[in-house]
Amino acid sequence: MYTDFYGFTELPFELTANQQYLFLNGSQREALSILQYGLSSAKSLTALIGEAGTGKTTLLQAALKSDRCRNVRGVYLNNPRLSPKEFNQLLARQLDLGADAAASKTVLLERLESLLRERHEAGQTVALVIDEAQSLSFELLEEVRLLANIETPSIKLLPLVLAGQPELAARFEDPALRQLQQRVTLRAHLQPFAVADTAAYIARRITAAGGVPSGIFTLDAVHQIHAFAGGIPRMINVICDNALVAGMALRRRPVDRACVVEVGVDLRLAPLGSGKPPLVPTEAEVPDPEIAPVRASVHDFPKVAPWRAPGFRTSIK
């Protein structure tokens, strides 16, 4: 792969929730704080809303592993397309409630409440964390809501966290789910990155993987990555990974805008919100390993924001 060519110790743009690469801008930091507060304080229901690829799963895992939540045992569900029966079986297995609890809802509820009270008396909290919650069926949402009723006179014994795409927020407005909506005590919203955040995010991952940002991408390339990805971290990873593969094949170090443009064409991408068809490079922008690298100044492209990210070059060399 391209690790040796660019001086990495490992691949920097893998699509995994690796906490080594955790990056927090203002929106992400606020969301993480809300998640930690909701879990550690046993709030009834905390909702995390964000478009696909904005980092919800990474933040959920960061919150559960954080020092503030050291006394929280999270039951994590990332495949919500289960029947209520399958959900109860999963809950029984993850909390070691026994095979008979998995087979009987009555036994499950009795043992679950007993376990939650024991953990509470020991100063611990069990939380139910559901990712991709916009896909939960109505029946399963009702099951989840009823579990939230397990409580003492002063505290909820099974705090809930539901993370999902904006469709989840829309579901909370459904009159049929008004009882669930009334239990939402905290909400966090993740926004796409601004261009400066995109640059800092890319630099963070490059550095964590043992690379030097100034030798990997030009600033113009970063602008183009942001335009294609629309500030969505998952898409930034996909584009950067493909650009580094292409850059290695073309012996480009650092990767320039023209190389990113070619990747965007291959991936059938267009700048988010542009309403334009996927970008097609001009003949001059098609990288050719047999000729000198394309040269361009940052002034040839629209200014996205008046910033200068440490470690990135201001022109394509």
Q: What's the confidence (pLDDT) of residue 284? A: 40
Task: From 233, 225, 235, select the one nearest 256 (Cα to Cα).
Answer: 225
Is the per-residue pLDDT at 162 higher than 80? yes
Average pLDDT score over residue span 109-130? 95
Contact 217, 202 (CB under 8 A): yes
* Digit-coded pLDDT (tens) for 9-55: 999 999 998 999 999 999 999 999 999 999 999 999 999 999 999 99
Q: What is the spatial distance between Cα 136 and Cα 211, in angstroms, rounded to a whole number?
A: 41
> Among the CATH numbers 3.30.460.20, 1.10.8.60, 3.40.50.1820, 1.10.1760.20, which is that of 3-13+193-316?
1.10.8.60
Other CB atoms within 10 A of residue 17 CB: 15
Q: What's the confidence (pLDDT) of residue 303? A: 37
CATH fold for the domain made of 26-189 = Rossmann fold (3.40.50)
Q: What's the confidence (pLDDT) of residue 312? A: 52
Mean per-residue pLDDT over the chain, rounded = 85
Q: What's the confidence (pLDDT) of residue 100? A: 92
Higher-confidence residue of 191 and 305: namely 191
Split at pLDDT 50, 70, 90, the class of 238 is very high
* Digit-coded pLDDT (tens) for 120-137: 999 999 999 999 999 999
> How many angstroms separate the Cα of 198 from the Cα of each of 30, 172, 241?
17, 31, 14
Q: What is the spatial distance between Cα 97 and Cα 14, in angstroms, rounded to a whole number?
A: 36
* Digit-coded pLDDT (tens) for 262-292: 999 999 887 654 545 444 444 444 333 332 3
Task: From 38, 42, 35, select the one nearest 158 (Cα to Cα).
Answer: 42
> How do the residues of the chain divide into helix, strand and coil, expressed in percent and rounded to 5?
50, 10, 40
Split at pLDDT 50, 70, 90, the class of 310 is very low
Whether a cis peptide bond, with omega within 30° of 0, leads into 80 is no
Domain limits, the chain:
3-13+193-316, 26-189
Which residues have a Cβ under 8 Å from the Cβ of 103 and sit 6 or more positions away? none
Is the per-residue pLDDT at 311 higher than 60? no
Q: What's the confidence (pLDDT) of residue 79? A: 85
Q: What's the confidence (pLDDT) of residue 317? A: 32
